Amino acid sequence: MLIWRTQVRWAECDVAGIIYHAHLFDWFSESRIQWLMAHDLDYYKILRPRGIELLVRHAEAQFFHAMHPGDLVAVDVELTGLSPTRARFTYRVLRDDITQQETSRGMTEHIFVQQGHASRVDRHNPDLFARFQAAYSQSQ
């Protein structure tokens, strides 16, 4: 698990001053990029230079409590599913204060794509798949 921290910005909110739901997926993306970096799978320095993308196959989110500009937020991201062709990440969004109140949670499922085609990472990049497996094993 990795914790990525941010603060709700006014630009992320709707006219009512509540975070606009689509920005939660931006937080998922940013936290996932940090997770990859922390596990020696840097998206911009390792995966993309090899032509590997993690394309979103499915994404979902649940909302429990509103967030407002200035709120401090911690996003817990974890790799919770792995196969040679897919990876699944789950996210918990918490207030980064004394309450640690869970405001939302979500999941993204990704397909490994290389050079524009679905790819088995274990066959075409076994060293990278081994890194994913090691990270996945740590979270179990």
pTM value surpassing 0.85 = yes
What is residue 96's DSSP assignment? S
**E strand map for the chain:** 2-7, 52-63, 72-82, 86-95, 102-114, 117-118
- Walk along the chain (140 residues) and give the pLDDT tens digit of each residue: 899 999 999 999 988 888 888 999 999 999 999 999 999 999 999 999 999 999 999 999 999 999 999 999 999 999 999 999 999 999 999 999 988 999 999 999 999 999 889 999 999 999 999 999 999 998 77
Name the CATH topology of 2-139.
Thiol Ester Dehydrase; Chain A (3.10.129)
Residue type, 1: M
Q: Where are the domains of the chain?
A: 2-139
132, 125 contact by CB (below 8 A): no
